[in-house]
Copies of this chain bind each other. A is one copy, B any other.
């Protein structure tokens, strides 16, 4: 059938409010472009802990497995921060990534013209910054064996970081493919001067690069990358790295654009299935006030249209509408220079829907 199934998991904090606006956008594109979506809602994160006693209820997982794509708001909040591990929202997040085989996290870090001043970087340094961090998402130290043991020096904690060749191959290929559609430059980030997993990573990336002779490959050590992102952000195009380094570097990259409230992300597996979510968190401090910025979530829908459904026309329309509304000067509180003129979550959503 041509009806696309979207699992919607709003989550915690501002999650439900921003997702509600993204759903309006989905509706509008149905009307305008003749696409058909079936959305089904599931509990996930803190709210699922409260209502079902687990951050990732089996029925939510099945809902996602039945779907063509997942739209996620945000999860977490202080309420659950001190819970035991199995009752924490993050555990649900790691669980859903693994269960759905989402081995790749794609985070475009772009600068929105109207937000240039929001960055702490000088505008001339930021100029032209438009990069993508491709982060391995289901391997490495996140998922390796973890335990405690007693030693002569007191208790010891252990985390294991492991990568096998196929795990590196599939993420490397994906990064090379993405680089091909852009300016054909790939930076692979590792710590090959210290870590065995990084040496395997680098060898594998080099081997795969033979299939992509048109893409220029450079290897950057993670500490150096943290510096170079600050020094010359616009010189990066696609960055591929392992899970832990990707967590750190993608957040650094997002923050330096000054546009973190506007950035969307995709988590992908084999095939076209994907989970889409804003880069920002659940912002418990402003939840429920109707003042949060729905743009990152709305742009996550556009990303879903491109990467999972191939609905490029509708994706273009959404991105254009966002630009139009921003160009007209409308701002939510987080991005407003004059906070008094800030509009609310719903107004922003309505304006974008109207502009599509």
Contact = CB atoms under 8 A, between A and B. Distances in A.
B156 A162 contact: yes
A156 to B, nearest CB: 4
Nearest to A245: B248
Interface residues of A, number: 57
A166 interface: yes
Contact of A226 (B191, B195, B252): B252
Contact of A159 (B90, B156, B196, B254): B196
Interface string A52-85: 0000000000000000000000000000000000
Question: What is the predominant secondary structure among interface residues of chain A facing chain B?
Answer: helix
Contacts of A90: 193-194
Interface string A255-279: 1100010000000000000000000
Interface string A121-144: 110010000000000000001101
Interface in A80-121: 88, 90, 94, 120-121
Interface stretch (A8-16, A39-47, A147-155, A177-185): A147-155
Nearest to A249: B226
Given A194-B94, A196-B158, A248 B223 contact: yes
B193 A157 contact: no
A201 B148 CA distance: 12
